[in-house]
Homo-oligomer: A and B are copies of this chain.
C-alpha cells in the first residue's frame, strides 16, 4: 500500500507539473523575451487596452500598432538590404543604358571599390535608388525584387536576408494581432520593396505596409493592356516627420503602439505617445555585438550612417516614458537559427 500510494503521488505530482508547464507555455506569448521591464511594459499595455473593465480600454477598430522595419524587425547592418539590392542592380541598369557607366555615382558603383561605395553621399545614394527602383512596371519590379531576395545572402551569416528577422519582434507582432491589433510596417524603406516579403516573413499584408513611395503612372502597353509604371518621383519620404505624415495618409488613425530603433522613428513615437489614453512607444537598442551588432552614440560607440540611436534620442525616451529594449538583456533569443 505504501508503494502504491507513493506511485500515485508521483503521478499526481508529474501531472501537476505538466499542467503548470502547459499553462505557463500558454500564458507566455513572448517566450523569446527575458523577464524584465520591456516585456512587462508590453504585457501591461496589452492587458490594459483590451480589458473592457479598464479605463484604458481601446475599441478593437482603433487598435493600430506600427513597426519600423530596418533595425527594428530585421538586421540593417552593415547596409540596408534595399540599398544592397539597388547597388547590385546597377550593372543590369547600365547594360540597358550604357551612357550611365561614365557618370557618377554609377561609375563608383561599377568600380566595385567597397570603400568608395561606402563613402557615397546620401544624395548620390538617393540618385541610385531613384533610378534603380523606377522605369519598370510595378509587376516587373515585384518579380525582380523577389528573384533577388531568393538568392541574395547577408555577408556575415551567409543566409537570405529574409531569415534575419528578430524572433522576439515577430512574437510581439503575433501577440498584438492575437489581441485585436492591426500591425503595420512603417518604414523609411521602399513601400513596394517591403511589400514583396511582408506577408511571408512578418504576416503583414501588403496593404498594411507604409513606406517611402514613388509615384506610378497609369498607361497602356503595346497590346492596349493597362499597367502602372514606377516613376522616379518621390511621393512620400517615410522617414522622420514623414512617418506620422505617412501614417495619416495611409492609415488615418493615430497608433496606440509604435516601435522603432533610430532617430528616423522619433516623430512616429512622439505622435503615438501624444494621443490620449494608454500608448506604448519602444526603441530597440543594438547593444549585442556578439549575437548581432552594437552601435550608436547612445552606447558611446561610433555613430553609423544607418539606424542612429543618438544620445538625444535616448534622453527623449527617458523623458517621455518610451521603453528601450536592450537586445542583449531583453532578448533570450534573436534569430530562429540561434538554437
User: A residues touching B (Cβ–Cβ < 8 Å)?
Assistant: 61, 64, 138, 182, 191-192, 195, 199, 205-207, 209, 213, 215-218, 225-228, 235-236, 241-242, 244-245, 248-253, 267, 270-271, 274
Interface pair A252/B195, CB less than 8 Å apart: yes
Smallest CB separation, A187 vs chain B (Å) = 13
Identify the closest chain B residue to A236 (Cβ): B235
* A218 and B271 contact, Cβ closer than 8 Å, known pairs A138-B248, A244-B226, A251-B207: yes
Residues of B within 8 A of A195 (CB): 252
Residues of B within 8 A of A248 (CB): 138, 216, 228
Copy count, this protein chain: 2
- From B61, B199, B218, B250, contact of A61 by CB (8 A): B199
Residues of B within 8 A of A271 (CB): 218, 226, 228
Identify the closest chain B residue to A206 (Cβ): B252
Residues of B within 8 A of A61 (CB): 199, 205
Residues of B within 8 A of A228 (CB): 244-245, 248, 271
- From B64, B209, B218, contact of A252 by CB (8 A): B209
* A213 and B274 contact, Cβ closer than 8 Å, known pairs A226-B267, A244-B228: no
Residues of B within 8 A of A267 (CB): 218, 226
Residues of B within 8 A of A226 (CB): 244, 267, 270-271, 274
**What are 26 pairs between A and B in contact, CB < 8 Å?**
A61-B205, A64-B207, A138-B248, A182-B207, A191-B252, A192-B252, A206-B252, A206-B253, A207-B250, A207-B251, A207-B252, A209-B252, A213-B249, A217-B241, A218-B267, A218-B271, A225-B274, A226-B270, A226-B271, A226-B274, A228-B244, A228-B245, A228-B248, A228-B271, A235-B249, A250-B250
- From B209, B245, B251, contact of A218 by CB (8 A): B245
Q: Beyond A209-B252, A215-B249, A217-B241: 11 further Cβ-contacts under 8 Å?
A: A61-B205, A191-B249, A191-B252, A206-B253, A207-B252, A216-B248, A216-B249, A218-B241, A218-B242, A226-B274, A235-B236
Interface pair B245/A216, CB less than 8 Å apart: yes
Smallest CB separation, A30 vs chain B (Å) = 26
Which of A207, A209, A217: most chain B Cβ within 10 A? A207
Residues of B within 8 A of A235 (CB): 235-236, 249
Identify the closest chain B residue to A243 (Cβ): B218
Distance between Cα atoms of A217 and B243 in the complex (Å):
11
Distance between Cα atoms of A250 and B236 in the complex (Å):
12
Distance between Cα atoms of A199 and B60 in the complex (Å):
13
